[in-house]
């Protein structure tokens, strides 16, 4: 990794956050002596550089210098900087960092306990009150509003420094952004949110599709697995106690995956308005 980044620095100036695969591709467009240099450096660099391991595992070289993934020891995890690094496991135990949770899970591999252990939510474990039916109905009101506001914020950021949204996405959000009728971000009552959903229903169709596409990437198969939902669920659970129940019930046919149809219907989008083109 260091060698590749270094080389990149020489050729193109500093490139922060670019992965080695991209770097190699860029290097290949350069003049032939530099290409040669790049390839040489790539082969002498650490075989673990480009080797991906899932969370809880790390790359180690075996006797033949071949990279492989082995369980990380939780003592090797970087220490937590503050309470925001703490996570609560599905065993209702607080772990200092998510690294520690996944290392623990990996070291329990093959056991029932290890199989059941997942990251439940961010922050230390706390008492999460049960979600009652009336609250469950209110949850999508806030969630839809929030999704719309996230997109509008990305749109506003984009006008200062482009790169958050693609041009297609910008075009769709622009229509919402420029609408005079839209409800501006704020701490609105559930009544107002419900009223706005009726009045400005069309503004919510795209944000609901957009969030689905954001999550459906591992793989992009039009269904969300438990782990694809995690980036949304995990930070939300401590703030919105209906999150877990909402996503559980969203999976109407109980096949452990949330399909696009299930997802949109959970958010009150009519089946006629489901449009796979909005996912791109």
Ligand X SMILES: *[C@@H]1O[C@H](CO)[C@@H](O)[C@H](O)[C@H]1NC(C)=O
The label of the residue with tokens 């939780």 reads 74
Q: What is the DSSP code string of 139-191? A: HHHHHHHHHHHHHHHHHHHHHHS--SS-HHHHHHHHHHHT-TTPPPSS---HH
Interface with ligand X by CB under 6 A: which range of 34-42, 60-68, 122-130, 231-239?
122-130
Give the nearer residue to ligand X in terms of CB position, either 17 or 129.
129
Classify each residue of 10-26 as buried b or exposed e, where b means 16 or more C-beta atoms within 10 Å of its C-beta.
ebeeeeeeeebeebbee
| SS3 of residue 58 by DSSP | strand
Which residues of the shown chain bind Ca ion in the complex (CB under 5 A)? 216, 221, 251, 253, 255, 257
- Gap between the Cα atoms of 213 and 262, Å rounded: 14
> Residue 95 CB, nearest distance to ligand X (Å)?
13
Name the binder of 125 from ligand X, Ca ion, none, CB < 5-8 A by kind.
Answer: ligand X
Smallest separation (angstroms) from Ca ion to the CB of 138:
23
Which token pair is 154? 């990305």
Out of 22, 40, 92, 220, point to the residue binding ligand X (CB under 6 A).
92
User: Residue 126 in contact with residue 177, Cβ under 8 Å?
Assistant: no
Q: Pick from ligand X, Ca ion, none: which does 189 bind, CB < 5 to 8 A by kind?
A: ligand X
> Cβ 93 to ligand X, closest distance in Å?
8
Please say whether the beta carbons of 252 and 262 come within 8 A.
yes
* Cβ–Cβ under 8 Å, residues 8 and 21: no
Q: Is the distance from CB of 247 to CB of 233 less than 8 angstroms?
A: yes
* Closest approach of ligand X to the CB of residue 90, in Å: 10
CA gap 129, 133 in Å, rounded: 13
Nearer to Ca ion, 193 or 279 (CB): 279
Footprint on residues 155-174 left by ligand X (CB under 6 A) = none
The entry of Ca ion, ligand X, none near residue 251 (CB within 5 to 8 angstroms by kind) is Ca ion
| Entry field: residues in the chain | 280
Smallest separation (angstroms) from Ca ion to the CB of 67: 27
Q: Six-digit token pair at 39?
A: 């390839």
Task: Convert residues 183-222 into a mask of x (bound to ligand X by CB under 6 A) and - (unbound).
Answer: ----x-x---------------------------------
Residue list 124-143, contact with ligand X (CB under 6 A) = 125-127
What H or E segment, with its residue span, contains residue 71?
A: strand 67-71
Least spacing, CB of residue 127 vs ligand X, in Å: 4
Residue 221 contacts which entry, ligand X, Ca ion, none (Cβ below 5-8 A, type-dependent): Ca ion
The CB-of-189 to ligand X minimum distance in angstroms stands at: 5
Nearer to ligand X, 49 or 91 (CB): 91
Under the rule (CB under 6 A), what is the footprint of ligand X?
Answer: 92, 125-127, 187, 189
């Amino acid at each position: 990794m260091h060698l590749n980044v270094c080389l990149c620095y020489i050729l193109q100036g500093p490139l922060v956050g670019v992965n080695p695969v991209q770097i190699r591709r860029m290097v290949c467009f350069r003049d032939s002596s530099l290409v040669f240099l790049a390839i040489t450096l790539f082969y002498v660099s650490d075989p673990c550089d480009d080797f991906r391991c899932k969370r809880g595992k790390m790359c180690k070289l075996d006797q033949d210098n071949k990279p492989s993934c082995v369980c990380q020891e939780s003592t090797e995890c970087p220490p937590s900087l503050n309470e925001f690094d703490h996570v609560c496991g599905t065993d209702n135990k607080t772990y200092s960092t998510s690294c520690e949770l996944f290392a623990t899970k990996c070291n329990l591999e093959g056991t029932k306990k290890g199989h059941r252990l997942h990251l439940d939510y961010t922050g230390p474990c706390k008492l999460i009150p049960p979600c009652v039916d009336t609250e469950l109905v209110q949850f999508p009101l806030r969630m839809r509003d929030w999704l719309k506001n996230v997109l509008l914020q990305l749109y506003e950021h984009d006008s200062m420094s482009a790169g958050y949204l693609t041009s297609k996405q910008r075009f769709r959000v622009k229509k919402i952004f420029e609408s005079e009728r839209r409800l501006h971000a704020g701490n609105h009552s559930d009544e107002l949110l419900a009223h706005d959903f009726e009045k400005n229903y069309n503004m919510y169709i795209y944000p609901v599709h957009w969030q689905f596409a954001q999550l459906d990437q591992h793989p992009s198969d039009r269904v969300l697995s438990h782990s694809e939902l995690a980036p949304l669920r995990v930070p939300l659970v401590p703030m919105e106690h209906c999150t877990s129940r909402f996503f559980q019930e969203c999976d109407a046919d109980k096949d452990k995956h949330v399909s696009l149809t299930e997802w949109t219907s959970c958010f009150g989008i009519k089946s006629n308005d489901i449009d796979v083109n909005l996912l791109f």
